[in-house]
Structures are given as structure tokens and as C-alpha cells.
């Protein structure tokens, strides 16, 4: 994995998921549901917060939110 990512052409500003970062540091990865949920929560909440700020609306102003995400699918 480290060799593949090293040749991927990505730069220092690339944000890798925690599991990939652990792999790059030579640490064992955590593939548990809990780790996946925490990673998805961190990514999704950040994106939603930025979208709300950009649209200048509050979470209470949103009646329905439809999300299509393949990042985390526990079923």
C-alpha cells in the first residue's frame, strides 16, 4: 500500500483517511465498524458544516437531507 500511494502522484495537501495514514506509518489498520463509523462521522460532519456555512443556513432550516455515501455502509 505504501508503494502504491507513494507513486500515486498525490501531494502533501492530500487528506488520507485514518486507516491509510496508519498504514503509511507502518501501524496496523483498524477495520472495525467503530473505526469506520468514526471516520465517516468526521468526514460527513465536516462537509455538512462547510455546506451549511457556504449556504448561510442553520441546521434547523433543513427539513429533509438526502445523502448518498459509499464511505460507510454497515448493512
The ranges assigned to domains in the chain are 1-30, 32-75
Those residues with Cβ within 8 angstroms of residue 1's Cβ, 6 or more apart along the chain or in another chain: 20, 23, 24
Question: What pTM was computed for the model?
Answer: 0.59
Per-residue model confidence (pLDDT) at position 71: 66
Q: Could you read off the pLDDT of 10-44 as tens digits, one per residue?
A: 877 877 777 777 877 888 888 888 888 888 888 88
From CA 39, how far away is CA 23, in angstroms rounded?
15
From CA 29, how far away is CA 17, in angstroms rounded?
11
Q: Which residue has the cell 473505526?
A: 35
Per-residue model confidence (pLDDT) at position 53: 97
Those residues with Cβ within 8 angstroms of residue 8's Cβ, 6 or more apart along the chain or in another chain: none
Q: Could you read off the pLDDT of 47-67 as tens digits, one per residue?
A: 899 999 999 999 999 999 887
Amino acid at each position: 500500500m505504501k508503494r502504491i500511494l507513494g507513486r500515486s502522484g498525490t501531494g502533501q495537501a492530500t487528506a488520507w483517511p485514518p486507516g491509510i495514514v496508519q498504514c503509511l506509518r507502518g501501524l496496523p489498520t483498524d477495520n472495525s465498524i467503530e473505526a469506520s463509523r468514526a471516520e465517516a462521522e468526521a468526514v460527513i460532519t465536516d462537509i455538512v458544516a462547510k455546506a451549511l456555512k457556504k449556504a448561510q443556513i442553520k441546521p434547523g432550516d433543513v427539513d429533509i437531507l438526502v445523502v448518498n455515501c459509499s464511505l460507510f455502509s454497515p448493512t
